[in-house]
Amino acid sequence: MGTPVLDVARPFIHGAARLYWRIRLEGTQHIPTAGPLIIAPNHVTFADPVLVCLPIRFAVHFMAWDALFKIPGFAWIIRRLRAFPTQIDSADPRSTREAVRLLQAGQALMIVYHPLLAPPDDPDPRVGARRFATQVREAIAASLPKEDRSEPGA
């Protein structure tokens, strides 16, 4: 099952992203048609999770920064979009168990890494995604180039 909100908005989001960011979707033929799957993009803008999901035609679950779930209204929205909280400044066994459960159930999981939110002593941000990748057959590393117009209004 897809994400109904994204499925309806997908053509409009893609069109707007093509105009504003000049986004191009390349290598989409390598995206599996079903999970288990890890999607591990770098995080340049707050739009990245949505933009990375544009070519993925099945449900994606998101590990999201726990602070986002403290924002009234926004927490309700992201939960409906299949997000679950994870702590970014310490080990989080609950979100790890949820991620492994989803992957073992054949689901897709997006782990978004934002270098500005990482602990300063974080030696390698990809370790978490690699750990989960041992649980699945497929992993996609998406890359979004940083440009001057990475954030709306910039």
In a domain, 150, yes or no: no
Residue type, 126: R
Q: Which of 60, 69, 52, 27 is nearest to 113 (CA)?
A: 52
The half-sphere exposure of 147 on its side-chain side, counting CA atoms within 13 A, is 10
pTM for this entry: 0.72
Q: Where are the alpha helices (DSSP H) in 2-151?
A: 4-20, 48-53, 74-80, 93-104, 127-133
DSSP reduced 3-state for 111: strand
Q: How far is residue 146 from each of residues 13, 14, 44, measured CA to CA in Å?
A: 19, 18, 6
In a domain, 148, yes or no: no
Are the beta carbons of 81 and 8 closer than 8 angstroms? no
Token output for 109: 């999981």
What is the extent of the structural domain holding 60?
4-140
The half-sphere exposure of 136 on its side-chain side, counting CA atoms within 13 A, is 27
In a domain, 76, yes or no: yes
Q: What is the tens place of the pLDDT at every residue in 74-131?
A: 999 999 889 999 887 777 788 888 988 998 888 888 887 655 455 555 555 455 555 5
In a domain, 75, yes or no: yes
- Give kind and range of the element (H or E) at residue 86: strand 83-86
In a domain, 86, yes or no: yes
**Mean pLDDT, residues 135-142:** 52
In a domain, 154, yes or no: no
**Mean pLDDT, residues 41-47:** 73
Token output for 39: 């999607």
**Percent of the chain whose pLDDT exceeds 90:** 11
Q: What is the CATH number of the domain that holds 56?
A: 3.40.1010
Q: What's the total number of domains in the chain?
A: 1
In a domain, 38, yes or no: yes
In a domain, 145, yes or no: no
Q: Rounded to an integer, what distance in angstroms lies between the CA atom of residue 144 and that of residue 21? A: 10
